[in-house]
Structure 1
């Protein structure tokens, strides 16, 4: 199954709200008639979800590394004490 470039661009615009109201209605009508277009839209949404989850996971990992550096580094003891005072 080869995705047409035009369909890819339309799907992107549809997902990101870049279609004017008439073009959006035409796209929805095409989706009703074309199972392949619906499938392409489905997979594009899934791809965005996976990318979002991947970046969220990477951000959590980076934040955990930063947290460990702040908590375990003896040079940051002043910062550690100021945080502890906030919660006392």
Structure 2
């Protein structure tokens, strides 16, 4: 179990550029020898991709809500006109 945790930390450092050049080369050599480590690397990358996509989706939803508030609120008509003038 401890090796698994150590590998997780190394994968994190590898993916985020936190390993010095020698440690990076040693880690790459370990990945060449270990199908299990390569698989863990693959899944960690996939997890980061999913988190990034989820974050983008949530941000897009928040921006849409903000846009709707700015466009539909009569009290914000001055702001709306300012924005329209910028793009004319």
TM-score by length of structure 1 reads 0.94
Classify 1:39/1:48 alpha carbon distance in 2 versus 1 (closer, same or farther; 3 Å): same
Q: Distance in 2 between matches of 1:72 and 1:60?
A: 18
Question: Deviation of residue 87 (structure 1)?
Answer: 2.4
Paired positions, count: 88
- Counterpart in the other structure of 1:74: 74
Which runs of 5 or more residues in structure 2 are unaligned? Answer: none
Cα RMSD after superposing both structures = 1.7
Q: Distance in 2 between matches of 1:36 and 1:2?
A: 15
> Is the partner of 2:17 in helix, strand or coil?
coil
Alignment of 1:47 onto 2:75: no
Alignment of 1:29 onto 2:32: no
